[in-house]
Amino acid sequence: MDRGKSRLRSFLLTLGAASALFLSGCSPDYIVLNPAGPVAREEMYLMILSTVLILAVVVPVFALLIFIVWRYRDRPGNPAAYRPEWAESRVLELVWWGIPIAIVGVLGFYTAKTTFALTEPPESNVQPLTIQVTSLDWKWLFMYPDKGIATVNYCEIPTGVPVQFELTADAPMNSFWVPQLGGQEYTMPGMAMRLWLQADQPGTYYGHGANFTGEGFAHMSFDVVAKSPSEFAQWVNQIKTSSSGLTLAGYQELKKPGVMGTVSYSSYPPGLFEDTVWVNGGRYFPDMMHMDRQANGGAGAAPGDPNAMCSPPMR
Amino acid sequence: MLEALRNFADTYLMWHEGPLIWGSDALILLTVIGIVAVLTYFKKWGWLWREWLTTVDHKKIGIMYMIAALLMLFRGGVDAELMRTQLAFPGNHFLDAEHYNQIFTTHGTIMILFMAMPFIFALFNIVVPLQIGARDVAFPFLNAVSFWLFFFGALLFNISFVFGGSPDAGWVSYPPLSELEFDPGPGENYYLLGIQISGIGSIATGINFLATILKMRAPGMTLMRMPLFTWSVLAASIMIIFAFPALTVALALLLLDRIAGTHFFTMLHGGNPTMFVNLFWIWGHPEVYIVVLPAFGAFSEIVATFSRKRIFGYGSMVSSLMLISIISYFVWVHHFFTMGAGPDVNTFFAIASMAVAIPTGVKVFNWLFTMFQGRIRLSLPMLWAIAFVPCFAIGGATGVMLAVAPADYQYHNSYFLIAHFHQTLIGGVVFGMLAGMYYWWPKMFGFKLDERLGRWAFWFFNAGFYVCFMPQYALGFMGMQRRMYVYPADLGWGPLNLVSTIGAYLMGIGFLFIVAQVVYSIRHGERDLTGDPWDGRTLEWSLPSPVPHYNFAAIPTVTDRDMWWVLKNEGRTEDLQPKSADLKPIHMPKNSGAPFLIGVSFFVAGFGFVFNWWLPAVAGLCGVAACLAWRSFQYDDEYSVPVEEVMATEISLGRL
Amino acid sequence: MAVIERELTQPAQHPERESPSHHESGHLPPEYRDHHQSVRIFGFWLFLATDMLLFACLFATYLVLKTHTDGGPAARDLFDVPGFSAETLILLTSSFTGGLATLAMRRGHQKQVLGWLVATMALGLCFLGLEVKEFATDVSAGATMQRSAFLSAFFTLVGTHGAHVSYGILWMFMVLLQVARRGITAVTARKVFIVNLYWHFLDVVWVFIFTVVYLFGVVM
């Protein structure tokens, strides 16, 4: 009788604690659990699935532990059984080899599925947007190869449009993370990495560098502002007309270590992103360069031109 | 002259940094003067040299490891409290970025390499030869070398704080951030050399204990009769041998980049930083299991002893240990799923990482069923073992969540990750080492640690642990990244951070209770007169506490897995008592000053390399070479303990 | 492989059980007859495993970085076929003479042991001389280890092997002195065996350097 009661009690307690965690997840501060786009949502589903699956092991462990310690504690006249030599049970051991294997099997299946799925753009019939991101000490430079504009420490994106972020670093490696839109990806010198994100609703989404880069790292936050496509187009035009351009000299200035606020540029040296990747070692990863140059449709060296891989880019 | 002195003080002693440094300098100076004064006043220098600095006795080396580990736990703990104080409130200005970065770097490095590693080595040394019925480890001289390499490596790392500046690129020290270009100070060199020197010692320890376990067991002790702690040491030693060379190479190449101007991991001239990341984690992930498996081993001994029952599923326990050590080599990429490996690579490493949970889960259930239908005594070692189960269950479960590669894109480098690995490393390693310390303390010193103060320590530390780290999971979901020294108020991170800080303070109080407990117990702790205070099961409990320097007067013949328990049950304990007719002279290794001098030489060399001062660097290396050459020509390195002395000792212990 | 097997299947004996005149270990080679010495040989095999992994990591680094020449000299421009062929031939021969030293030790011929050890050391010194010359030529042509990641990796991998060889020569010299002074005892037999084990190991590593670094370097 006691046995059943205590087991039930601990089960309910754990369930309560778990649901409390999820309910609190609805508070707007829990940005990871408040996805604003399909990528973040997909990732959250996996989080929930894995949480449920592991609870299938954790809850019995808690229950068993409480029950066993209480029931078999060493006190005079404890009526519970005592079998000091009982140390083997093939059936029991099969159970707890089997259950974790089954859980890992299920979780592994969904992990594989999602891992492959997330390398593709979110399903959409809209033309995707590409934004090239360079992490610097200690600021973020966003470049819009299709629009020719650039921003620092914030970027704007149209809602409902898959955005391909191409990431690199011209400084120690950082990590680009906008929790409400989706998981992070490292920005690394000499590499161009791709991260698909998409915002469903307009809003301002918190982003931050997630890999330590030294003194100013704590101040490397940026906002991703999602707007309806028409408002976005308006914003682009406004930057083009009202801001000044980023020159190569300006970029060298920008590269110097320091913390700064937001800036917008009406233009930037074409191929700046590709050149940065190339100079920092991208030339040794021709495949990656190739992929990105193709994706950019013409920025930098000619796409698909095999010579582009062997010669330094033109300045 | 004065100008030169001021320059020196500013450059190397960092006197411009103000009271914090001045205070530390004064404190260190006073401590050194105090120690020297006490040793001189009580005429203890000779004793220190003969009994400790030159010892090759595995039990004494183990004790020195343990003292060092506790000191480092203190240092790393102070770092932790400083960090938590800084993070208690948004926009806090208790520490600036530079200091915060140094502190989290030293905290991580010290806790893993200079606290967890010596703590497991302490138990290796104290327990393994006694459990397998050996007189010492396979290579006692090498064992002493290992200790002094660790000691002087740790010392080198720690003096960075007051001489030249601490490392500040994180304990993983990824280039290019850790390259000269972005990190010109000597701190990073200290990191590389301190770990390198102690790492060489760790490799030697791995070799030593693998040879000890495979070659030095008492007759009759087949592999499947070995106690589980010894099995866990076997697994950990194999992993040390296979993992540490990768660290050696990673550190050496980064050091070459910094002092010889090479381009392994630099941004320009063809360097490839990700190569360092790979090498580091090829060591780094097995390292996690290197420190946690011995804790598992200790729990296995403790749970069986305090449940008065055989360990459940011994075969599964052994195979799960070995399985974990194998799988641990196929998971390293999960530390950087988000560095752009392809989906196929990520999937492989994700599933391999989840698979680690299978043998680990099996172990948890086997521990539970060892307790099932036993008789559970809640003494201090068992309390920590029981507290370990739920803590590690959550830590392991969140580990499985992190292994889900796409979800890891959201957890990576966030406080969710911080909470996870603290839960496994504190809940697993620290709980395990403390449990082991309480358990084997009487064997080391001949008295128990005070139960009442120990319970205070236990509850403060445990309550503090959950108060500190549960909020950090939530902070991860709120998007808080690791290694931020300051955060704004408008993100709502403030309250949970404050709670977490309170928890850290509670853990600190728990640690202080442990200190008080040790101090109090030296005088008032319950003396262990039987040598078997816990009603133990394995060979070490058949010996008196503390154990005579030659361990076993006569080497036992083993016939059962829980040998001592079986003999006690059958009333045949005298089987393991020495008989005067059987006694023979015992060959023991001689003490040697060379290991200590090798350590000193490495220290001098390392110090020279830190500042690119070639004279001490070369002198130190020559010192090492001289010691090794001397050792090569030393043939007379053993002595014989005469039968009369063995007899006299055994009679005085009431065993003859 | 057979040696490893012997190591692992050898029963866990305790030193206490073994008297110097153990009857059944008579068929074991001299370096294995004393339990203490055989444990040391086993320990040395474990050390070689760690050293092998160290070289494996250096090889991996080299393979990752070998195209990263930063516009500087590449493998093809640098490697001198007669030079590295001579180095290889000399080191292989030294491994053979080292093996002869071990065999002489097993037969108990002290003079022969000394002779073969001297020959091995002399060949080792020739090898080192050629390597130093090769490095000096490279450096004078501007191919320093600071020039590019490829050269950093090349000099570090080959240089680490060279440092091992230098250390091996010094070590062998000390073993030589001990054999000269003490003759072939259980301890010196073990030392001769181990130092040659080390020497053979360096030979194996060189075979990989020869193939992976030099041959692939000039061919590809």
In the prediction, which pLDDT does B576 show?
Answer: 87
Report the alpha-carbon angle B416-B419-B424, nearest 5: 125
Across residues B599-623, what is the average pLDDT? Answer: 96
pLDDT at B418 over 60: yes
Please name the member of B270, B368, B397 whose beta carbon is closest to the beta carbon of A68.
B368
Q: Nearest chain A residue to B496 by CA: give it.
A: A29
CATH number at residue C103: 1.20.120.80
Domain with CATH 2.60.40.420 in chain A: 129-309
Across residues B327-338, what is the average pLDDT? Answer: 93
Q: What is the DSSP string of C76-133?
A: HHH--HHHHHHHHHHHHHHHHHHHHHHHHHHHT-HHHHHHHHHHHHHHHHHHHHHHHH
Q: Which residues pair with A154 in a beta bridge?
A: A223
In B, residues 106-165, which contact C (CB 8 Å cutoff)?
Answer: 133-135, 138-139, 142
Q: Are residues B26 and B157 in the same domain?
A: no
Q: Nearest chain C residue to A281 by CA: give it.
A: C68
Q: Are residues B33 and B74 in the same domain?
A: no
CA distance to B416, C99, C121, per residue, from C93 (Å): 59, 10, 11
Tally of domains within chain C: 1
Q: Are residues B9 and B144 in the same domain?
A: no
Q: Are residues B83 and B179 in the same domain?
A: yes
pLDDT tens-digit readout, A15-66: 555 555 555 556 788 999 999 999 999 999 999 999 999 998 899 999 999 9
- The reply to whether B322 touches chain A by the CB within 8 Å rule is no
What is the rounded CA–CA span in Å between residue B503 and residue B461? Answer: 9
- Flag if B351 and A104 touch (Cβ within 8 Å): yes
pLDDT tens-digit readout, B48-64: 999 999 999 999 999 99
Which value, in Å, is the radius of gyration of the alpha carbons in chain A?
A: 26
- Which ipTM value was assigned to this complex? 0.94
Q: How many inter-chain contacts (A to B, CB under 8 Å) are there?
A: 283
Residue numbers in B near C60 (CB within 8 A): 275, 279
Q: What is the DSSP string of B467-493?
A: HHHHHHHHHHHTTPBTT-S---GGGS-
- Flag if B263 and C57 touch (Cβ within 8 Å): no
Q: Are residues B147 and B38 in the same domain?
A: no
pTM of the complete model beyond 0.90: yes
Chains with 3+ CB–CB pairs under 8 A to B are A, C
**Residue C3 located in a structural domain:** no
Domain with CATH 1.10.287.90 in chain A: 2-117
B624 membership: H or E segment, kind and range: helix B614-632
Q: Which residues of chain C are under the pLDDT cut of 50?
A: 1, 10-24
**Residue C176 located in a structural domain:** yes
Residue C58 is part of which domain span? 31-219
- Find out whether B116 and B425 touch, Cβ atoms under 8 Å: yes
- CA of A65 to nearest chain C CA: how many angstroms apart? 39
Write the single-letter amino acid at A301: A
> How many C-beta neighbours within 10 Å does residue C10 have?
16
**Residue C23 located in a structural domain:** no
For domain A129-309, which CATH number applies: 2.60.120.1440, 2.60.40.420, 1.10.357.10, 2.60.40.10?
2.60.40.420
Confidence of residue B582 (pLDDT cuts 50, 70, 90): confident
**Buried-exposed string A99-132: b where 16+ CB fall within 10 A, e elsewhere:** bbeebbeebbebbbebbeebeebbeeeeeebbbb
Across residues B560-564, what is the average pLDDT? Answer: 93
Across residues B310-329, what is the average pLDDT? Answer: 95
Which residue has tokens 């320590």?
A: B457
Confidence of residue B16 (pLDDT cuts 50, 70, 90): confident
- The reply to whether C64 touches chain A by the CB within 8 Å rule is no
Q: Are residues B22 and B154 in the same domain?
A: no
Q: Are residues B30 and B54 in the same domain?
A: no
Confidence of residue A73 (pLDDT cuts 50, 70, 90): very high
- The reply to whether A286 touches chain C by the CB within 8 Å rule is no
What is the rounded CA–CA span in Å between residue A7 and residue A314? Answer: 71
pLDDT tens-digit readout, A252-288: 999 999 999 999 999 999 999 999 999 998 888 766 6
What is the rounded CA–CA span in Å between residue B620 and residue B599? Answer: 10
Q: Nearest chain B residue to C175 by CA: give it.
A: B632
Residue B82 is part of which domain span? 44-652
What is the rounded CA–CA span in Å between residue C191 and residue C199? Answer: 12
- CA of C68 to nearest chain A CA: how many angstroms apart? 6
- The reply to whether A136 touches chain B by the CB within 8 Å rule is no
**Residue C16 located in a structural domain:** no
In the prediction, which pLDDT does C35 show?
Answer: 86
Chain C interface disruption, residue of B142, B179, B207, B552, most C CBs within 10 A: B207
- Find out whether C148 and C70 touch, Cβ atoms under 8 Å: yes
Report the alpha-carbon angle B298-B361-A53, nearest 5: 150
CATH code linked to domain A2-117: 1.10.287.90
Report the alpha-carbon angle B3-B6-B11, nearest 5: 125
In the prediction, which pLDDT does A300 show?
Answer: 35
Residue numbers in A near C67 (CB within 8 A): 284
Q: Give the whole-number percent of chain B exceeding pLDDT 70.
A: 100
pLDDT at A306 over 90: no
Tally of domains within chain B: 2
The SS3 call for residue A149 is: strand
- The reply to whether A182 touches chain B by the CB within 8 Å rule is yes
What is the rounded CA–CA span in Å between residue C110 and residue B322? Answer: 45
Task: Share the mean pLDDT of chain B.
Answer: 94
Q: Are residues B403 and B501 in the same domain?
A: yes
Which value, in Å, is the radius of gyration of the alpha carbons in chain B?
A: 25
What is the rounded CA–CA span in Å between residue B127 and residue B236? Answer: 14
